[in-house]
């Protein structure tokens, strides 16, 4: 039985498309998205700023139409890739009818605190140019969200929290959006996946969000792939304890059933 639903997958920072293959194909006996009827296509690796990647995504969507893939499609963006997916809809709202839903995995919708990451990227000679676009205060995020923000002291935690100046733009009306966010248990952080804060991923709870919570729920484990940059920054490793939860959340959101069930 041929795949019946088109899924366009967008990788994150300095990532090859192969990094999303665990979700697409499965691993160690756990079936992936293709086993549930999704025709998974991945945007090729790109090192440019996010506005350029949005143009690449728009070209890819048009290529899928030319190939007569089934529309409307679902776009899955991991980390930075979720910003590219939303950015495509922001830049091309007239094409939103071709997008059934957008799924963001560990995406910094309100930005990240870069701290020493740009220096690490420079030290490791990583060619990806999008690092500055991820900052809370970047021009890109102000454009994408339709608002800037400011730092406020949270009296409960006595830490500074990035707060938007007004309600942000999310996605075009009629487009379904869903977030999968990792939350490390308090011993390991407790407010995010070690890279992206849960509040940033959910846009302050404005997006429907599924939280994957536990000691192994770090940024890399959400898709089950090792990233040397994130490892150098955080020390997190990967295993098969978390990405199946991401997979199941996607399947529930999309209402997908296994091909075996569909054929019975």
Q: Give per-residue pLDDT as tens, 214-237.
A: 999 999 999 998 777 677 767 777
What does the pLDDT read at residue 71? 96
Does 53 have pLDDT greater than 90? yes
- Any bridge partners for residue 7, and if so which? 40, 74
User: What is the reported pLDDT for 263?
Assistant: 47
Residue 238, pLDDT score: 85
Q: Which residues pair with 105 in a beta bridge?
A: 78, 180
Which tokens hold the place of 20? 């999303």
Q: Report pLDDT for 123.
A: 47
pLDDT at 207 over 50: yes
CA–CA distance, 227 with 177 (Å, rounded to integer)? 26
DSSP, residue by residue, 143-180: HHHT--EEEEEETTTTEEEEEESSPPP-S-TT-EEEEE
What is the arithmetic mean of pLDDT over 162-169?
96
Cα(250)–Cα(256) distance, integer angstroms: 8
| Residue 261 pLDDT greater than 60, yes or no | no
d(CA 76, CA 176): 12
Out of 50-59, 91-100, 108-117, pick the least confident. 108-117
- For residue 153, CA distances in Å to 162, 191, 205, 228 come to 9, 16, 19, 33
Higher pLDDT, 54 or 264: 54
Comparing 260 with 220, the larger pLDDT belongs to: 220
- Please give the backbone phi and psi of residue 135, each rounded to the nearest 5 degrees, phi first: -65, 145
* pLDDT score for 172: 97
Report how far residue 20's alpha carbon sits from residue 43's, in angstroms, rounded to the nearest whole number.
Answer: 10
Which position has the token pair 């990035």?
162
pLDDT at residue 26, rounded to an integer: 96
**Cα separations (Å) of 164 from 89, 140, 168, 221?**
20, 14, 8, 29
Block residue for tokens 């599924």: 210
| pLDDT bracket for residue 102 (50, 70, 90) | very high
Give me the mean pLDDT over the 52-71 stretch. Answer: 96
Q: pLDDT grade, residue 45 (50/70/90)?
A: confident
Task: Tell me the per-residue pLDDT of 132-151, one tens digit each, with 9 for 90 and over.
Answer: 999 999 999 999 999 999 99
The answer, yes or no, to whether residue 259 has pLDDT greater than 70, is: no
Token pair belonging to 128: 């990806």
Inform me whether the pLDDT recorded for 17 exceeds 50: yes
Mean pLDDT of 16-33: 94
Does the pLDDT at position 18 exceed 80?
yes
Return the pLDDT at 46. Answer: 87
Q: Which domains does the chain have, with CATH numbers?
A: 5-108+173-259 (3.40.50.1820)
98: phi then psi, degrees, rounded to nearest 5? -85, 0
Average pLDDT (5-21) is 92
Query: Mean pLDDT of all residues in the chain?
Result: 89
């Amino acid at each position: 039985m041929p795949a019946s639903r088109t899924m366009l997958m967008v990788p994150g920072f300095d990532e090859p498309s192969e990094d999303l293959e665990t979700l697409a194909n499965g691993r160690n006996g756990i079936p992936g998205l293709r086993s549930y009827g999704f025709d998974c296509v991945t945007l090729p690796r790109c090192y440019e700023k996010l506005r350029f990647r949005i143009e690449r995504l728009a070209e890819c969507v048009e290529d899928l139409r030319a190939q007569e893939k089934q529309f409307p499609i679902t776009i899955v963006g991991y980390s930075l890739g979720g910003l590219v997916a939303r950015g495509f809809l922001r830049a091309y709202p007239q094409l939103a009818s071709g997008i059934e839903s957008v799924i963001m995995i560990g995406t910094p919708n309100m930005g990240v605190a870069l701290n020493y990451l740009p220096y690490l990227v420079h030290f490791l000679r990583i060619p990806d140019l999008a690092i500055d676009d991820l900052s809370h205060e970047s021009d890109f995020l102000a454009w994408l969200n339709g608002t800037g923000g400011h730092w406020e002291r949270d009296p409960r935690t006595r830490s500074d929290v990035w707060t938007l100046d007004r309600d942000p733009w999310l996605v075009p009306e009629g487009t379904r959006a869903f977030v999968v966010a990792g939350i490390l248990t308090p011993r390991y952080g407790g407010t995010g996946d070690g890279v992206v804060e849960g509040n940033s991923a959910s846009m302050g709870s404005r997006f429907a969000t599924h939280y994957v919570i536990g000691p192994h729920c770090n940024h890399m484990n959400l898709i089950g792939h090792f990233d040397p940059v994130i490892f150098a920054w955080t020390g997190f490793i990967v295993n098969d304890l978390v990405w199946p939860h991401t997979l199941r959340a996607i399947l529930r959101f999309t209402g997908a059933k296994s091909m075996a069930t569909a054929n019975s």
